[in-house]
Structure 1
Amino acid sequence: MKKAEVVCKQLDCGSVVSISSAAHYGVGTGPVWEAKKIRLANGRSQCSGRVEVYHKGQWGTVCDDEWEVANAEVVCRQLGCGEAISFFGNAHFGRGSGQIWLDNVECTGQEVALTQCSHNAFGENNCGHGEDAGVICLGNLPKPQITLSPATDVGLGDRVEFTCTMVTEHLGGTFILQKNSDSFKMEKYSDNDAAMFIIRKVELSHTGSYHCKYRKRLTNKNIDFPEGDSAKLTVTMHLEQPSISLTSPSAMVMFRPDKVELKSGSSFSITCSVHSKYQGGFFYLVKANLSTSEPKPAFGHSIFLLAYFEFPSVMPKDQGEYSCIYGINISAVLYKSIPSKSLQVILTGSSSGSAITGAVVGLLLLVLLLLAAYFFWRRRGQSARAMVTFSSRVGEVIKQDKEEKTTGAHDGRDYNTLANEYGNGHSPEEKGAEVDPQSTLERNVTEDLSGRVCYELEPLIHS
């Protein structure tokens, strides 16, 4: 009846109503275990802490005298916590209170319960609570955690750090970083709760899932903790977006992405460039997403790479939108950048037609110049006086210089007087002689547009 009362009390089922035997509730199967009268207190889990046993209705501690790994194995097995990881004395998990039930406990490791091991009588001891014993069992061990830095998605050649962390009291073990899909493995012993693994320059082959393991070495065997969750690392080619520009040798002008108007037959070149740490690549020149040029090897210094695409004589078929793409082969895999901004090339006319047009315009200007000079000359001719030469009947010549007419530099005699003097062929001494009526010059001078002309004389007008 007393045992039944203990059972009901442990189960919080109240008072005993009746007891039975002889397999009253049926025959059981498997091993017959003694009722658990043991617990672990003040640990991080139910499988670690200060060892306490239940006796005479109260919990008491166990003294660490003769406390060995075999004792810990019995405790862990009795609690269903698997193998023993380590054992402690000197109140490692803190001082208990109340009774110290067991002292000088010695187990073989095969016992079912701690009370089956050799020990002093319950309550007989020479210990204080500063000698309370404790254990850590494998039990529900925490799994190590994994973190990646700077990110789970990195570029080829970047530095990557894996950190394995254990939140446990089982310090002083080996951390293992392992790749799920192949034999990649890195190990590091640490007295702390974490270990860092570094890959200084990742390769594309490092892409995959990784997990951490933790192993603790006991006296005669290794205890492997549960495998941690996986984290995926992705290694990619982060190719920068290239730039595009156009250079016209005739104009020595460089154009940035936009519309560029060129004359048919002229020459130009397109430059593709990029800032990239991945050298050994090449550029494609893509036209309106329809056609792609042959790749041209990139050249340059440091991280600045470029290539030229020449157009010695632009044709109508060369019109369209152009963009650049940078590519590189790594392990027989082609990686390409995103296209650059587009540059549109537009033809405005042929260069030969422009030359002809220029010649025609020049000729027209020359004709207009000649016409202007001609009309100017005509106008001046009309305003100038003509030089007139008079010839008498006897061959005498009267010449009036145009300059004299213009300046008025004559002797003061008018044109009628001159006509009288020279028109009859007489000298001034002969003025008194008689004159032939037929040879008499009528002094009737008229004026025409070119000047005064005496019609009795025979004028000769010289231009």
Structure 2
Amino acid sequence: MPEVNFDNEGSYQCQYKITVAGQDFTSSSDSVSLSVPLQQPSISLTSPNRGLVWGPEGAQITRGFSFVFTCSTSSHYPGGVFHLIFSGSNLTNTEPAVNQSASFSFPVAEYEQQGNYSLPLQQPSISLTSPNRGLVWGPEGAQITRGFSFVFTCSTSSHYPGGVFHLIFSGSNLTNTEPAVNQSASFSFPVAEYEQQGNYSCVYEVTLSSRTFTSTQTAPISVVIKSK
């Protein structure tokens, strides 16, 4: 696949087939789930008439001067929009993406424009494997044989230092958390039991400049534990 796109999302597995003495034999591998998340955009701030100074608390803009946020991405999909999210308001500014970027201009800085401006974190990806081949993909999702092991892997292409992944399980109020190492984390379940049936999804969280950013949840993977 020289250039992956959204149409390539889904589960993949290898199947080997051979005919011996007129009889067909088939063997299938575990499945690998492929997701194609959007790359995280970048955000920058400028002041055309030099009203901007960077201080220890962030950007300081002189009242009455203009400032501009520029959002951009290296994802080469046609069209799309950028949302500029402002913590001091329930409103979100939206502009169409032109050449993978968009600008949000504020001609006159006012006190009510103080706050945090951001773009949401990219959604991570989630995959499921079974090291001892206890996994079969069926119409209802992943079927894991009771007593076998399984592993969820959460990953992101966001290149922020550190961060953590949360594995959220619909069948429990508990959330497993692991540090991000090389933009990924694994959650191992050595012995599959019936109480581990349910939906699993990943969330990525990172703290930058004393602010915590949290991604949206991945689409869930449904797990069914079956008897041997």
**What pairs with 1:413-452 in structure 2 (closer than 5 Å)?**
none
- State the match for 1:163 in structure 2: 48
SS at match of 2:43: coil
- State the match for 1:342 in structure 2: 220
Q: 1:177 aligns with which of 51, 54, 64?
A: 51
Q: Is it true that 1:329 corresponds to 2:211 in the alignment?
A: no
Q: 1:280 to 1:212 in 2, by over 3 A?
A: same
Alpha-carbon distance in structure 2 between the residues aligned to 1:207 and 1:250? 57
Residues 394-429 of structure 1 show CA distances to partners (whole Å, capped at 9, x for unaligned) of: xxxxxxxxxxxxxxxxxxxxxxxxxxxxxxxxxxxx
Q: 1:177 to 1:297 in 2, by over 3 A?
A: same
Corresponding letter in the other structure for 1:243: S
Corresponding letter in the other structure for 1:163: P
Residues 194-247 of structure 1 show CA distances to partners (whole Å, capped at 9, x for unaligned) of: xxxxx8xx998238785329xxxxxxxxxxxxxx73264753253110111100
Alpha-carbon distance in structure 1 between the residues aligned to 2:135 and 2:212? 35
Offset of residue 163 of structure 1: 1.4
Offset of residue 281 of structure 1: 0.5
SS at match of 1:317: helix
- State the match for 2:77 in structure 1: none
- State the match for 2:176 in structure 1: 294
Offset of residue 333 of structure 1: 3.3
Greater RCO structure (CA 8 Å; 6+ sep): 2
Corresponding letter in the other structure for 1:270: F
Corresponding letter in the other structure for 2:108: D
Q: Is it true that 1:262 corresponds to 2:140 in the alignment?
A: no
**What pairs with 1:102-141 in structure 2 (closer than 5 Å)?**
none
Q: Is it true that 1:279 corresponds to 2:164 in the alignment?
A: no
Alpha-carbon distance in structure 2 between the residues aligned to 1:244 and 1:161? 36
Q: Is it true that 1:316 corresponds to 2:201 in the alignment?
A: no
Alpha-carbon distance in structure 1 between the residues aligned to 2:41 and 2:125? 22
Q: 1:290 to 1:209 in 2, by over 3 A?
A: farther
Residues 376-401 of structure 1 show CA distances to partners (whole Å, capped at 9, x for unaligned) of: xxxxxxxxxxxxxxxxxxxxxxxxxx
SS at match of 1:230: coil
Alpha-carbon distance in structure 2 between the residues aligned to 1:289 and 1:317? 8
Alpha-carbon distance in structure 1 between the residues aligned to 2:120 and 2:60? 14
Over aligned residues, Cα RMSD in angstroms? 3.7
Q: Is it true that 1:246 corresponds to 2:128 in the alignment?
A: yes
Q: What's the % identity of the aligned pairs? A: 26
Richer in strand (by share):
2
Provide structure 1 residue ranges, at least 5 long, that are not aligned to the other structure.
1-154, 165-175, 179-183, 185-198, 214-227, 352-463
Offset of residue 277 of structure 1: 2.6
Give the TM-score, by structure 1 length.
0.28
- State the match for 1:211 in structure 2: 64
Q: 1:229 aligns with which of 100, 108, 113?
A: 108
Residues 141-186 of structure 1 show CA distances to partners (whole Å, capped at 9, x for unaligned) of: xxxxxxxxxxxxxx9973323213xxxxxxxxxxx515xxxxx4xx
SS at match of 2:195: helix
- State the match for 1:187 in structure 2: none
Alpha-carbon distance in structure 1 between the residues aligned to 2:136 and 2:154? 13
SS at match of 2:65: strand
Is the contact made by 2:147 and 2:193 (CA closer than 8 Å) also made in structure 1? yes
**What pairs with 1:136-151 in structure 2 (closer than 5 Å)?**
none
Alpha-carbon distance in structure 2 between the residues aligned to 1:276 and 1:203? 25
Alpha-carbon distance in structure 2 between the residues aligned to 1:252 and 1:276? 31
Offset of residue 342 of structure 1: 0.3
Richer in helix (by share):
1
Q: 1:205 to 1:306 in 2, by over 3 A?
A: same
SS at match of 1:158: strand
Offset of residue 259 of structure 1: 0.8
Residues 67-92 of structure 1 show CA distances to partners (whole Å, capped at 9, x for unaligned) of: xxxxxxxxxxxxxxxxxxxxxxxxxx
Provide structure 2 residue ranges, at least 5 long, that are not aligned to the other structure.
1-39, 67-106
Residues 254-282 of structure 1 show CA distances to partners (whole Å, capped at 9, x for unaligned) of: 97xx7101111111100001110322101
Give the TM-score, by structure 2 length.
0.53
Q: 1:211 to 1:295 in 2, by over 3 A?
A: farther
SS at match of 2:213: strand
Q: Which has the larger radius of gyration?
A: 1
Is the contact made by 2:194 and 2:225 (CA closer than 8 Å) also made in structure 1? yes
SS at match of 1:325: strand
Q: 1:203 to 1:282 in 2, by over 3 A?
A: farther
SS at match of 2:200: strand
Alpha-carbon distance in structure 1 between the residues aligned to 2:175 and 2:60? 32
